[in-house]
Amino acid sequence: MKDQCSNGLQALFHNPDVATGSLGELLNHSSALLCKWLADAPNHGPRPGLIVQPLAEPDVAGKQIDELWRDLSSLMDGAYRPNHPGALAHLDPPALNVSICADLIAAGLNNNLLAEELSPSLSRLERSLCSWMARQIGLGANASGVPASGGSLSNLMALTCARRAANLQGRCDGVVLTGAGSHVSLNKALAVMGMEPDCLWRLPLDPEGRLLPAVLADALDRANQLGLPILAVVATAGTTVQGVVDPLRQMAALCKAAGVWLHVDGAIGGICALVDSQRWRVDGIELADSVSLNPQKLLGVSKPSSLLLLQDPNHLRTCFSTGLPYMEQATADHGGELGIQGTRGAEVLKLWMSLQYLGLEGIEKILEGAFLRARSLRSLLEPLPLHLLAGDLHLLSFNSAAASADEQINWRDRCHKQLLESGFWLSKPDWRDLPLLKAVLGNPFTSAMHLEQLASIISRSL
Ligand SMILES: *Cc1c(COP(=O)(O)O)cnc(C)c1O
């Protein structure tokens, strides 16, 4: 007799009574579909054409699974292909295989990192991994942090902690000092914090795109003279257009002397501090009060994967703890007590599996590969009549050395189009009044041969 309580709904979920149920078949099919899509990348461009979109709204009766697979396939045809060798436009590399698997498992576990009782082993793993990451980048024995769904949230939480630590909570008149190349998420953070846009002082950069310590020192003095409280200084370890790392050590010294919180936005470059051979690129990061770090970028952990790490993680508790009255006491902090987000998936699982599988040597190899590709492309482009904005990481932006702005814009559009026709996708940032082409060399499928091809198309377009 049919159970009125379950009413056939169990068929939608995995039934533990049935050893090999339909979930297995669905997973096999999904896995075949995904592997085919990944393998198919070289037969397409990195940037797909428009597809006929399937309907967004559900039917009354629901779809047959075969029809659904067809709609899913067409959506996948319209997706950006990060593993195409010519996918060089953005900070969005292909995902590590183990990370894809971990995401799948995490979806099935459906644990909630809000509270320890909803994710016992994973909560403990998250705390230990955050502590390890924070210690490994040099923030000290007591350092730790919290994962966040993206670097924008990590930056927002950092500035919220900084404001509180400066005893400025509830006040909107403080200023945040940063370089002109900092990420736009800082503007959003201030908006959320109830502050006016002009509270973000974007300081001028040197010709290389770096914030000079003397410029910061002047700005600190100026804020003091105006009687404006300084909420934080934000240094960037890898700017979004150029990949420039600010002089972290000198900025930290200035902040220490002024008693001001230093946040390092290391969404791109922070990962370098995990391994000895690359740490020099972000020298001084260990002196920050807080660091944002995005394993979803250079390292290839699937999205979203970001962390906010702090020398003193008590700041998170002070800002965000609510007592979570509807949860049991945890053995340590509940995940939801350390940040803005409530319910969170087990993003820690893919980060942990990726780091475990790679080991420090694997991390090193990924970073070295990206930096090698960036150096190679740079040396291929250097002899050409281009203006290169190279930075310190795996990004390379450039524009034509043509005299007039119109010529530069025309060349950029022409070259961008010719590259796309040959399967190379670069992005088109406008930055410091320059129409640039930008290549991000984080894609392990881009070979030396691809880079030579890329350079020769650029050369011919000039
Ligand atoms: C990508 C990026 C961010 C924002 O991270 P999201 O994950 O996109 O929110 C912040 N800062 C820098 C320097 C970045 O490149």
Q: What is the CATH number of the domain that holds 233?
A: 3.40.640.10
426 domain-assigned:
no
**Does the beta carbon of 182 sit less than 6 angstroms from any atom of ligand 1?**
no
**Does the beta carbon of 178 sit less than 6 angstroms from any atom of ligand 1?**
no
Q: How far is the CA of 298 from the centre of ligand 1 (A)?
A: 12
347 domain-assigned:
yes
Range of the domain at 237: 104-356
Strands, sheet with 386-389, edge to edge from the N-terminal-most edge strand: 386-389, 395-400, 437-440
Look at the chain and report how many structural domains it folds into. Answer: 1
162 domain-assigned:
yes
17 domain-assigned:
no
**Does the beta carbon of 294 sit less than 6 angstroms from any atom of ligand 1?**
yes
Average pLDDT along the chain, 462 residues, taken 10 residues at a time: 68 66 89 97 91 93 93 96 97 98 97 96 98 98 97 98 95 95 98 96 96 98 97 98 97 98 98 98 98 98 98 97 87 92 97 98 98 98 96 97 90 97 97 94 97 98 94
Q: How far is the CA of 264 from the centre of ligand 1 (A)?
A: 12
Using CA atoms, how far residue 62 sits from 13, 69, 75, in Å, is 16, 13, 18
Q: Count the Cβ atoms, other than its own, within 10 Å of residue 427.
A: 16
- Ligand 1 mutation target, pool 90, 183, 347, most atoms within 8 A of CB: 183
Integer Cα distance of 255 and 251 in angstroms: 6
214 domain-assigned:
yes
116 domain-assigned:
yes
42 domain-assigned:
no
Q: How far is the CA of 151 from the centre of ligand 1 (A)?
A: 5
Integer Cα distance of 394 and 331 in angstroms: 41
Residue showing tokens 């807080």: 290
Q: Give the per-residue pLDDT at 328.
A: 87
**Does the beta carbon of 185 sit less than 6 angstroms from any atom of ligand 1?**
yes
